[in-house]
Structure 1
Amino acid sequence: MSSAKQDATRDRIEAEIAGPLNVMGLDVEAVEVTPAGKRRVLRVAVDKDGGVTLDDVADATREVSRVLDESDVMGELPYTLEVTSRGVDRPLTLPRHWRRNADRLVKATLVEGGEVVGRILSSIEDAVTLEVDETSREVPYADIARATVQIEFNRKKRNDSEDV
């Protein structure tokens, strides 16, 4: 299948499932169709405010399966459906990604070069406020080339006591 045809199929799948999943309170974050021998693997990543639970993933899987069964978008070739959460390794590309990761540590590569590492304090429609070296810094999304959440092990919450 050509790249343009794969893109069109992916876009059509996303268009078919976005509405029903949105009714469930879920956003479609990614749709990938990958050839796997004589089959294809359809991966759908979903997210929502407060995070996605296993029950959300199970419900989304049933709904995506139902929608695809009622549509001809996947054609006649067999496929395997995988529904998952967005995952911490996916880049932050939309304001809702920043909002949903409030208080998390992020690393942002800037369009003009350089990096900013800071904790998300707040986000609005066109900018994010990060705590960088104990100082607030507002960074417009337009100035960010790429940003990802950084994994923190053994991080103490702000209100945790040192005497545990």
Structure 2
Amino acid sequence: MSTTQSERLRGLLEPLVSAAGLDLEEIEVSRAGKRRMLRIIVDSEEGATLDACAELSRAISGKLDETDAMGEGEYVLEVSSPGADRPLTQHRHYERAVGRLVKLQLNDEGTAGELVARILTVDDEGLDLEVPGVKGRKPTARRVAFADIAKARVEIEFNRKDKKEEEA
């Protein structure tokens, strides 16, 4: 997708997404056979519900029908949430992941490598993490600056006990 089309779509759709109480995370236009696929990824502090995505999809569809932003050809519109394992690329993504386990690719020469840890707190400079203990050892605290993070992604946990269960 050209930058100008991306910017035009963002300018057209961002007010609709904001009015729905959501954040516009990504706009992607790709080919799907003879058709094009317009994928809109939205999120919020509470997450994007199926009903919110469906309602927003109708609003976006109506807005696109009023304009020529997608041109003359057919396209498929998909409005969805980013998914559980999406990359963390913005400050708000890290804030939403507090309490979650993340995999970090570090780029700092002294600490380059991979780190799996739980986000405890987030501030303007970086993250306070809890690195799980290995082989019976206790978890350790670690501070990582945003400048030292090359990539970050939430890890899906299937067997994590809910805090309510732990308190009981």
- How far 1:83 moved relative to its partner? 0.5
TM-score using structure 1 length = 0.88
Counterpart for residue 130 of structure 1? 129
Kept after mapping to 2: 8 A contact 1:6/1:33: no
Does residue 1:150 correspond to 2:155, yes or no?
A: yes
| 1:43-71 superposed Cα distances (whole Å, 9 cap, x missing partner) | 01100001111111112111211221222
For structure 2, which runs of at least 5 residues remain unmatched after alignment? 133-138
* 2:113 corresponds to 1:117: no
1:3-152 counterparts in 2 under 5 A? 6-112=2-108, 113-133=112-132, 134-152=139-157
| 1:135/1:69 CA distance change after superposition, 3 Å | same
Cα distance, 1:143 vs. partner? 1.0
Separation in 2, partners of 1:156, 1:44: 32
List 4+ stretches of structure 1 deviating above 6 A: none
Q: Which amino acid aligns with 2:36?
A: R
Q: Percent identity?
A: 47
Query: Structure 2: how far apart are the matches of 1:89 and 1:44?
Result: 17
CA distance in 2, matches of 1:102, 1:47: 16
Give the superposition deviation at 1:21.
0.7
Count of equivalent residues: 159
TM-score when scaled to structure 2?
0.86
Cα–Cα, structure 1 residues 138 and 161, in superposed 2: closer, same or farther, change >3 Å?
A: closer
